[in-house]
Amino acid sequence: MSSHTWTPDALQYELSSFSGVAWRLVEAQHQVSTLKLVDSLEEQEILEDILDTTKPPMPDDCRHLDYLLSTPFRYRPYPHGSRFRRSGVTPGVWYGAEAVQTAVAEMVFYKFLFYAESPETPLPDNAAEYTAFSAAIGSSACLNLTTGVLSQDAVLWTHPTDYAACQSLADCARETGAEIIRYQSVRDPNLGNNVAVLSCRAFTRSEPVDRESWRIHLTRTGAQAVREHPRLGVEYPLRSFSGDPRLARYGQ
């Protein structure tokens, strides 16, 4: 079945159950960005509460979630489209990876993309610090693009730059009540799997399950990512991402 013929009625038969954890990386300073503006933790909490009143309202079904889980559902309009979310005033999507190494690979790719599209910006001399966190997710309404009939359109789901087919699929998926889309990472050299969470109802715990500290150092030829505990080092040569034309000439 071609992706152009997927309809909500057809997708209804492809829904299945999924449960597990998904990893995501955020820059470590998200935890202390306001602390330098105040003199105590009590003042920081007051400042955070004031800042929260200036933000868009939280959707009702996301209010119970930690902000690391709920933030993608809060902010509209969405300035630039992503794989399963159109730009504009569109429903939120929380992206995660089934393995922390896949989440790290995704972060490394997008850091390289930033510098490739900002060629006058020098690479940082030091490694940047990140927090990796996992979220527990589960739903009986998951679309799995990695197996079965849907996997026959893998060339569309894994296109490095054209998200049109994925965004159309997500629109139909929401009409069926789908809450999770499972798909192959386009950025991970080891082809790990990602998840796109379409609904806050798919989070089975209101706070992150686990956290890890990572450092990522970028060079013109690749990146080194190191987890502090338990110790783990992963290298990503720049050629690992050569399938994306936006990085084809970076570093040359």
pLDDT for the residue 250: 77
pLDDT for the residue 5: 72
When the pLDDT of each residue in the chain is averaged and rounded to a whole number, the result is 90
| Contact partners, residue 198, CB within 8 Å, separation at least 6 | 84, 91, 93, 170, 173, 174, 178, 179, 180, 181
pLDDT for the residue 3: 46
pLDDT for the residue 34: 61
| Contact partners, residue 16, CB within 8 Å, separation at least 6 | 140, 142, 143, 144
pLDDT for the residue 242: 87
Summarised one tens digit per residue, pLDDT across range 208-227 is: 999 999 999 999 999 999 99
Summarised one tens digit per residue, pLDDT across range 234-248 is: 999 999 998 899 997
What's the average model confidence in pLDDT over 98-121?
Answer: 95
pLDDT for the residue 195: 98
Q: Is residue 209 part of a domain?
A: yes
Q: Considering the entire predicted model, what is its pTM?
A: 0.90
Q: Is residue 37 part of a domain?
A: yes
Q: Is residue 194 part of a domain?
A: yes
Q: Torsions phi, psi of 224, nearest 5?
A: -120, 130
Q: Is residue 136 part of a domain?
A: yes
Report which of residues 69 and 52 the model is more confident about.
69
Confidence of residue 42 (pLDDT cuts 50, 70, 90): confident
Tell me if residue 58 falls in helix, strand or coil: coil
d(CA 204, CA 202): 6
pLDDT for the residue 141: 98
Confidence of residue 48 (pLDDT cuts 50, 70, 90): low
Count of domains forming the chain:
1
Report which of residues 95 and 34 the model is more confident about.
95
Q: Is the pLDDT of residue 30 over 60?
A: no
Summarised one tens digit per residue, pLDDT across range 138-154 is: 999 999 999 999 999 99
Q: How many CB atoms lie within 10 A of CB 179?
A: 24
d(CA 243, CA 159): 10
Q: Is residue 61 part of a domain?
A: yes
Q: Is residue 252 part of a domain?
A: no
State the residue range of the domain holding 115: 3-247
Half-sphere exposure of 104 (CA within 13 A, CB side): 26
